[in-house]
Amino acid sequence: MAPPSAPASPRAADVLGRVTLVTGKEEFLSERTVQAVRAAVRAHDDQAEFSEAVAADLTLATLGELSAPSLFSSVRCVVVRAFEQLPDESVAGLVDYASRPAEEVALVLVHGGGPRGSGTLAKLRKLATVTEVKSEAVKSWDLPAFVVGEGRARGARVDTEAAAALVQAVGEDLRMLASAVQQLVSDFPGARIGTAEVAQYFGGRAEVKNFEIADALLAGQRLQAMEGVRWAIESGTSPVYLLSSVAGQLRTLANYVGGNRKDINPYQLKKLPAVARGWDDASLAAAIRAVARADADLKGAASDPEYTLERLVLTITGLRR
């Protein structure tokens, strides 16, 4: 399944007189759906009333109050949060309402994921008046595709390599990634966003440098890797974090060489064949042992982190054929 990204905005007809069921643990995507429903209702009637409730406090009576017409507009949008906490005694009334929702009310039920309330979800899913939008967590290897999709939704093209670099720089938080894409699209309107544009704003981050150092190391580029290590030490980058990047890249390479490639993102899959040609099972095993030794030294009594990392560079680049 493709990773979720910025969806096309729903129309008022898609949400009014219907129930939007939002399920899943990814809060950012859930909130995006809620805001999209609200925007559709507001575009339909700028006098529409908006209200929220927590499912634990919901009864058929309170739902009736929330969805009742006001003096200003009969159009309403009601958001019920933490739907998994809906009391048992309220289930029958809620399901009955969902089977024949008020025509000018958009009801949004937000379920945070997990098994609680699964029986109620099963009942709602059977109703023709209910639309489910899933907010599933995006796997690490799908994050570059998420970034590409964010750019596309904003009318921009983000290169896959640039998307992977942005993930390395910003991290795996979807809200931060979406915000970073928005910044890039805003600052480079109409431009194709590549690694140069990402580097201009985020290239100084230690995570990107660590990623580049690890790449150079496994590619056997001894001089580049050594210079990177010295830069990292001088700039105050944590040696443990740098080693963690090396270990992560090494695990990915070992999985690739071993044929376990289903969890490797497409960007890495393009680069790994050239890197893997210099490695076999024996040399990879030796490299993993070298990383484990360096990790023990850095976390133990090693007095010279720079020496530990430089020794690792010499060892790993020496193992590559």
CATH number of the domain residue 17 falls in: 3.40.50.300
Over range 137-148, report the average pLDDT.
Answer: 88
Q: What is the pLDDT of residues 181-196, one digit of tens each?
A: 998 998 888 888 988 8
Q: What is the pLDDT of residues 98-137, one digit of tens each?
A: 999 999 999 999 999 999 999 999 999 999 999 999 998 8
Q: Which residue has the tokens 């910044």?
A: 183
Domain holding 68, by residue range, is 12-134
What's the chain's length in residues?
321
Q: Are 4 and 31 in contact (CB under 8 A)?
A: no
Considering only CA atoms, which of 1, 14, 79, 2 is closest in space to residue 43? Answer: 14
Q: Are 231 and 209 in contact (CB under 8 A)?
A: yes
Q: Residue 305 maps to which CATH number?
A: 1.20.272.10
Residues 126 and 68 in one domain: yes
Domain tally, the chain: 3
> How many angstroms separate the CA atoms of 186 and 73, rounded?
36
Q: Which of 164, 187, 202 is the last residue of a domain?
A: 202
pTM: 0.64
Q: Residue 150 maps to which CATH number?
A: 1.10.8.60
Residues 66 and 19 in one domain: yes
| Residue 1, in any domain of the structure | no
| Extended strands (E) in the chain | 18-23, 49-54, 76-81, 105-111, 130-134, 157-158, 192-193
Supply the DSSP string of 238-284, one letter for each residue. Answer: -HHHHHHHHHHHHHHHHHHHTT--TTS-HHHHHHHHHHHTT--HHHH
Residues 219 and 186 in one domain: no
* Pair of tokens at residue 115: 């098994």
Q: What is the pLDDT of residues 60-106, one digit of tens each?
A: 788 777 767 655 568 999 999 999 999 999 999 999 999 999 999 99
